[in-house]
Structure 1
C-alpha cells in the first residue's frame, strides 16, 4: 500500500471524487488548486484532496473510498497519512461534511471535533438534493482536529 501525489490529469479520478462530492462543478472549485493523493493497494482504493485555507488550516475537501474497498481502514489510513504529512506545516486539519450518520461518526472516531456549521450549504450550492444514508443533507458541518500539540 502506498500514497501517491497526483499533479497532472487529476480529472481521471473523477468517478471516485464524485463518491464524496456528487456535483462535478463543486469538485472543479477545489481540484486544480488542491493537492490530490491516491491510495494504491493493488489498485486505487481511495482519493483525497486537501487545500491550504490559510492561518495554519489544511482542509480535506474530498475523501472517497471505492465502494468495494470500504470498511477496510483505508479512510482512516488516509487521515493518518494527511496528518503526518502536513503536521510540520499546519496546525489544524479541517473537514466539512453533511449531517450524515455515515460520515460524522467516522470523522469523530478519527479524532475530529465539531467546530461550526454553515446553514443551508447543500441546499444553496447543489442543484439536486443530496441524500446520504436516508438523510437529506442541508447544513455543512465543519469538524477540526489539531495536528500539533
Structure 2
C-alpha cells in the first residue's frame, strides 16, 4: 500500500464525485487543495485537504471506491494526514452532511462535533442532496487535534 500526493487532481474526477456530486463545488477547493491517493493493487481512495488558517487543515473530499469500502482505506488516509501534518497544524477538521453513513466513520477516526454550518447544502448546491435516505441541509463540522500548535 502506498499514499502519495497527486499533482494531476482532475485525473481522479470520478472518484471525487463519489464524495461530492457537484463538480462546480469540487472545482472551488480543488485548485487550492492538495490531493492524496491511496493505492493498494490499484487506486482505492483519494483525499483533498486545504489549509484553512489558524492551524486548521480541512478534509474537503474523501472518497473510497465502493468495492473497497469498509476495508480501512479511509481511516488509513486520515491517519496518514494526521501524522503528515502534525508539525504544521493543530487540528484536522471535516465538514459533512448529518448522515448515519459518514458521521460514525469520522467519530471512529477520533473526530468530535465542533460546529454546524446552517443550510450549507441548500445554499451551495443546485439540487437536493440525499444520503442514507435523508436530505442533507446543514453541514456538521467535526474536528480532531493532531498537533501542538
- Given the alignment of the two structures, is residue 114 of structure 1 paired with residue 113 of structure 2, yes or no? yes
Q: Any unmatched runs of 5+ in structure 1?
A: none
CA shift, 1:109, in A, is 0.9
Question: How many angstroms apart in 1 are the aligned matches of 2:77 and 2:52?
Answer: 19
SS at match of 1:33: coil
TM-score norm. by structure 1 comes to 0.97
Partner of 2:6: 6
Is 1:132 matched up with 2:148? no
In the TM superposition, what is the alpha-carbon distance from 1:90 to its structure 2 partner? 0.3
Distance between the aligned counterparts of 1:113 and 1:10, measured in 2?
Answer: 29
Matches within 5 A, 1:3-42: 3-7=3-7, 9-42=8-41
Shift of 1:38: 0.3
For 1:88 and 1:148, how far apart are their aligned partners in 2? 6
Number of matched pairs: 148
Deviation at 1:148, TM superposition (A): 2.4
Structure 2: gaps of 5 or more residues? none
Runs of 4+ in 1 over 6 A off after TM superposition: none
SS at match of 1:138: coil
The offset of 1:32, in angstroms, is: 1.5
TM-score normalized by the length of structure 2: 0.97
Q: CA shift at 1:73, angstroms?
A: 0.4
- Equivalence for 2:63: 64
> 2:122 & 2:29 partners in 1: Cα distance?
19
Offset of residue 12 of structure 1: 1.3
